[in-house]
Amino acid sequence: MVESIEKYLNEVSKLVLKIPSAAVERVTSLIFEAYTRGKRVFVFGNGGGSSTSSHFVCDLAKGTVTEGKPRLKAISLAENMPLLTAWANDTDYTNTFGEQLKNLVEQGDVVIGLSGSGMSPNVINAFHVANDAGAVSILFSGFDGGNAVKVASNAIVVPSTDMQQIEDVHMILTHIVFRCLKNEIVES
């Protein structure tokens, strides 16, 4: 068992080191720019990506609170189960995030979708809505980015086909972005 544990930890460590720092800096800068302009950050995903999106929004909305500074406006589109299931039931599951965005998204907002494979139709459709509204769309994915990487205006793709390791790296990335944002807000 120890060999299995060490193998997994080594593989995740190697994946983390393959993420370009410039891509993480770019995502952080895009969110910080939205923050300085009073815009919102929307985050969503399916399954593990849904959990990560909720955790990320918690960090962004609460963890960045700084005395004397405006608050970062972060919203998870994966939290409202009645609304998610209404869109899925009454139309199609591929509309669960995009239809929510149509009520809320504005030019200059940031829309972050997590899709391990990059093939989630509801994430891709939400990126179309975001792009049409003039928002910045950001994908956190794995594999080769799938079809979502072709629609998102920015992407960080974890170069792996192991879903659990992709999700591990996504969580690490959200923590890095959060910490960098917190520093930017404190120093601004």
Q: In angstroms, rounded to a whole number, what is the distance separating the alpha carbons of residues 140 and 48?
A: 12
**What Cα–Cα distance (Å) separates residue 149 from each residue in 64, 107, 116, 156, 182?**
28, 20, 11, 9, 27
Task: Say if CB 116 and CB 48 are below 8 A apart.
Answer: yes
Q: Evaluate whether 12 touches 169 at the Cβ level (below 8 Å).
A: yes
How do strand 110-115 and strand 73-76 relate by DSSP bridges? unpaired
pLDDT per residue, tens digit, the chain (188 aa), is 999 999 999 999 999 999 999 999 999 999 999 999 999 999 999 999 999 999 999 999 999 999 999 999 999 999 999 999 999 999 999 999 999 999 999 999 999 999 999 999 999 999 999 999 999 999 999 999 999 999 999 999 999 999 999 999 999 999 999 999 999 999 99
Q: What is the pLDDT of residue 178?
A: 98
The pLDDT value recorded for residue 78 is 95
- 130, two tokens: 């975001």
Q: State the pairing for strand pair 40-45/136-141.
A: unpaired
Q: How crowded is residue 147: how many other Cβ atoms within 10 Å of its Cβ? A: 15
Residue appearing with tokens 């589109």: 77
Length of the chain: 188
**Can you tell me the distance from the alpha carbon of 36 to that of 27, in angstroms, rounded to the nearest whole number?**
14
pLDDT at 122: 98
Is the pTM higher than 0.95?
Answer: yes
CATH architecture of 2-187: 3-Layer(aba) Sandwich (3.40)
Every domain of the chain and the residues it spans: 2-187
